[in-house]
């Protein structure tokens, strides 16, 4: 289950970023996973929850964006989502298309709150 390694890498990136922002509290981390990336979003969520339980990241939320497979028609330039392994352009019917996206695994954002010391 390589989702454990992915979840751990997400946490390592979060730790590195938090080291740059003393006093900040990390709230949410967002990742983008293509449907062809070979990552099970539910398994990733489970692993992330298991790794953060009873740690300084226990309140951290993992948001997962799943991206569909997209192709571009070489004839008309239309970008479209591939459904049911039908790679033909849904606009002109051309069979020659090029893969555009759907295999990504990206750390998209880290959302944190910065606490200022109270001087009152």
Domains parsed from the chain with CATH numbers: 3-68+103-114 (3.30.2320.50)
pLDDT digits (tens, 9 = 90+) for 52-104: 999 999 999 999 999 999 999 999 999 999 999 999 999 999 999 999 999 99
pLDDT digits (tens, 9 = 90+) for 27-60: 999 999 999 999 999 999 999 999 999 999 999 9
Which residues in 11-43 are b (16+ Cβ under 10 Å) and which e? beebeeebeeeeeeebeebbbbbbbebebebee
pTM score, whole prediction: 0.86
Q: How far apart are CA 1 and CA 25, in angstroms?
A: 29
């Amino acid at each position: 289950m390589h989702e454990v390694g992915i979840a751990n890498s997400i946490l390592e990136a979060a730790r590195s970023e938090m080291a740059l922002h003393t006093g900040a509290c990390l709230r949410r981390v967002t990742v983008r996973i293509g449907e062809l990336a070979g990552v099970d979003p539910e398994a990733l969520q489970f692993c992330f929850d298991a790794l953060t339980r009873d740690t300084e990241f226990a309140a951290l939320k993992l948001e997962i964006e799943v991206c569909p497979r997209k192709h571009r028609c070489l004839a008309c330039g239309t970008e479209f989502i591939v459904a049911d392994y039908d790679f033909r352009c849904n606009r002109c019917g051309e069979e020659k298309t090029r893969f555009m996206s759907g295999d990504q695994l990206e750390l998209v954002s880290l959302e944190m709150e910065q606490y200022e010391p109270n001087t009152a």
